[in-house]
Copies of this chain bind each other. A is one copy, B any other.
Amino acid sequence: MSTPSSLDVLIEALRCLPGVGPKSAQRMAFHLLQRDQRGAARLATALGHALEVLRHCSRCNTFCEDEVCARCASPQRDASQLCVVEMPSDLAMLEQTHSYHGLYYVLMGRLSPLDGIGPRELGLEKFLGRACDGAVQEVILATNFTNEGEATAHMISELLKSRGIKVSRIARGIPVGGELEHTDSGTIAQALVERRSL
């Protein structure tokens, strides 16, 4: 007499989404089944397809459908500068300023000991390999100015300096505790100009 099992399984599966508890998973399941079966089918397909084709660019680590993404493959970009960001959305924010023409490295996260994300989980070895490939003259750290972003910048800076690579940090024009994603592009551009060597 209880919930049909396929509905239970769906409600449980929706809880893998960040910030979705049992009540909102139930609400989402009812909504999809009752009001938006087409959207639900599209979501199932999109998830399956994304899992199948998306991988990480072997150069910058962002999501990409090829071995190397278009940006990393472009001869237009200045290969001597490598800007480190936490997420693809941060990269997009920097690109919107049109004031940076180097390459990127996307960490896909930040150091977060409480969530069990240390240097190994963050894949800092892959990053070091990229940063020390010979072409990079300067690494610009553009992680967020949160505690975790600062700790990440600090660790990367130490690792690079011990390898003799020039490191800079975008300027603290961004409010302490603020995130790139919620900052206007003028402020971000200013922070790039005022980066200081570490």
Distance of A160 from chain B, by nearest CB (Å)? 23
Which segment of A15-23, A132-140, A149-157 sits at the interface?
A15-23
A6 near B44 with CB under 8 A, answer no
Identical copies of this chain, number: 2
A13 near B42 with CB under 8 A, answer yes
Q: Is A100 in contact with chain B by the CB < 8 A criterion?
A: no
Distance of A15 from chain B, by nearest CB (Å)? 8
> Which residue of the partner chain, among B16, B35, B49, B181, contacts A36 with CB atoms under 8 Å?
B16
Residue of B nearest to A71 (CB): B1
A54 near B17 with CB under 8 A, answer no
What residues on B are CB-neighbors of A12 within 8 Å? 46
Distance of A73 from chain B, by nearest CB (Å)? 10
User: Complex formed: what's the CA distance from A88 to B44 in Å?
Assistant: 23
Distance of A44 from chain B, by nearest CB (Å)? 4
> Which residue of the partner chain, among B17, B34, B108, contacts A32 with CB atoms under 8 Å?
B17
B37 near A51 with CB under 8 A, answer yes
A32 near B54 with CB under 8 A, answer no
Distance of A127 from chain B, by nearest CB (Å)? 15
Q: Is A10 in contact with chain B by the CB < 8 A criterion?
A: yes
Q: Is A198 in contact with chain B by the CB < 8 A criterion?
A: no
User: Complex formed: what's the CA distance from A64 to B28 in Å?
Assistant: 17
Given pairs A1-B71, A13-B43, A13-B45, 16 additional interface contacts (CB within 8 A): A3-B92, A4-B65, A5-B65, A6-B46, A9-B46, A9-B49, A13-B39, A14-B43, A17-B28, A18-B31, A26-B89, A33-B54, A33-B63, A37-B51, A44-B44, A44-B47
